[in-house]
Amino acid sequence: MRNQTQLPFLICLPYAGAGPSVFNPWRPVLQKSVQMLQPSSAGKEKRFAQVPFRDIGAQVLDIASQIQEQLDQHPATPIIIFGHSLGAILAYELARLLETGSTARLVHLIVSGSASPLLKRRGKATGLSDEEFVREVESLAGYTHPALADKNMRDLLLPALRADVEMHESYQHQWAAPASINITCLHGKGDQVVNSDEALQWREVTRGSVDLLNVDGGHMFWVDDPALLITTIRTIATNLGVQGVEDAA
């Protein structure tokens, strides 16, 4: 069994409106498989008082600055990045940044609930009134956040959620050459935001392997039942350990 410092890093990036604590329930079930890194975001949780980013490039640089010290201290440690929906695009851009601007050992990108970064997001909620915005976001996601039903809570949460949605809707892919990273893409069969063909087009952004897993559920399939996603992460992390042994032999 590998000790904790030998385990791969798992960088977790959430969907629009969510903060890093959404991944806290994963810690006990993944503690023997990965070292979880949960970067924070301006406008959410412990950084609630800060103005949220509206540009993916700025957000990614902020994320990178939070994890850089740990990556520098453990340069040989494999890195897995996971992101869902907006988080998937952030994860991709972070992967590109690490591939081109560091010596980090980036090995796998896991994305869910996201079309290929080459495709423009369908639907637009930016600029709508609060009521229309909430309805549009919930309709697209097929998911109702309980806190948004309470006006006081909604007023607190909307600035960060609006910033995230604007960031996602305004994103434009800028990379001329494909990445090199291997990608696993999970797609909910009932997803009303992203269809299977759009998810499959992740194959166009990398020279590495791309595995598409069509799973039961909608856009937010893993929020209610993360079991399959957890198993996927464990399998990838375990295979990295086996590969590491083979490389050292």
Smallest CA-to-CA distance from 83 within 63, 54, 112, 55 is with 112
Q: Write the Ramachandran bin of 112: left for phi over 0, alpha for psi from -120 to 50, otherwise beta.
A: beta
CA distance 194 to 191: 6
Q: What is the pLDDT along the chain (249 residues), one digit of tens a residue?
A: 455 558 999 999 999 999 999 999 999 999 999 999 999 999 999 999 999 999 999 999 999 999 999 999 999 999 999 999 999 999 999 999 999 987 889 999 999 999 999 998 877 888 889 889 888 888 777 667 777 777 888 888 899 999 999 999 999 999 999 999 999 999 999 998 999 999 999 999 999 999 999 999 999 999 888 999 999 999 999 998 644 333 332
User: Mean pLDDT of all residues in the chain?
Assistant: 90
Neighbours of 4 (CB within 10 A): 9
CA distance 79 to 109: 9
What is the number of domains present in the chain? 1
CA distance 212 to 232: 12
CATH number at 239 reads 3.40.50.1820
Residue range of the domain that includes 48: 4-248
At residue 14, the pLDDT reads 96
Contact 88, 112 (CB under 8 A): yes
